[in-house]
Amino acid sequence: MIRRNDELAKMRKAGRVVAEMLLEVSKHVKPGVTTAQLDRVARDVLGRRGARSNFLGYHGYPATICTSPNDVIVHGIPSDIVLVEGDIISVDCGAIVEGYHGDAARTFPVGEVSTEAKRLIEVTQEALRAGMSQLVPRKHLNETGRAIERVGRRAGYGVVREYVGHAIGTAMHEEPQVPNYWPGKPGIKLAPGMVFAIEPMFNAGDAGTVRLDDGWTVVTSDGSISAHFEDTIVVTDHGPEVFTIMD
Ligand code: MF3
Ligand code: CO
**71 part of a folded domain:** yes
**247 part of a folded domain:** no
pLDDT for residue 247: 77
pLDDT for residue 233: 99
Mean per-residue pLDDT of the chain = 98
Distance 104 CA to ligand 2 centre (A): 7
Q: What is the pLDDT of residues 52-86, one digit of tens each?
A: 999 999 999 999 999 999 999 999 999 999 999 99
Helix or strand holding residue 198 (H, E): strand 195-198
Question: C-alpha distances in angstroms, 2 versus 32, 68, 102?
Answer: 45, 32, 16
**28 part of a folded domain:** yes
Query: Rounded distance, CA 209 to CA 188, Å?
Result: 28
- Domain containing 52 equals 5-242
What value does the mean pLDDT take over residues 168-184?
98
Out of 25, 128, 172, mutate this one to test ligand 1's pocket (max ligand atoms within 8 Å of CB): namely 172
- Ligand 1 neighbours, Cβ below 6 Å, are 55, 58, 61, 66, 75, 92, 94, 103, 173, 199
**19 part of a folded domain:** yes
**156 part of a folded domain:** yes
Tally of domains in the chain: 1
What value does the mean pLDDT take over residues 26-52?
98
Cβ contacts of 83-87, under 8 Å, gap ≥ 24 = 83/29, 83/30, 83/31, 83/32, 83/33, 83/34, 83/35, 83/110, 84/31, 84/32, 84/110, 85/31, 85/110, 85/111, 85/112, 86/110, 86/111, 86/112, 86/113, 86/114, 86/117, 87/113
pLDDT for residue 74: 98
**65 part of a folded domain:** yes
Out of 61, 68, 90, 92, mutate this one to test ligand 1's pocket (max ligand atoms within 8 Å of CB): namely 92
- pTM value is 0.98
Q: Whose CA is nearest to atom 5 of ligand 1?
A: 55
Q: Give, as one character, the DSSP assignment of residue 59.
A: G
What value does the mean pLDDT take over residues 27-54?
98
- pLDDT above 70 covers a percentage of the chain that reads 100
**42 part of a folded domain:** yes
- pLDDT above 90 covers a percentage of the chain that reads 100
Closest-lying ligand to the alpha carbon of 56? 1
Distance 127 CA to ligand 1 centre (A): 20
**12 part of a folded domain:** yes
Provide CB contacts within 8 A for 59, sequence distance 6+: none
The answer to whether the CB of 83 falls within 8 A of the CB of 65 is: no
The answer to whether the CB of 158 falls within 8 A of the CB of 207 is: yes
Q: Residue 187 belongs to a domain with what CATH number?
A: 3.90.230.10
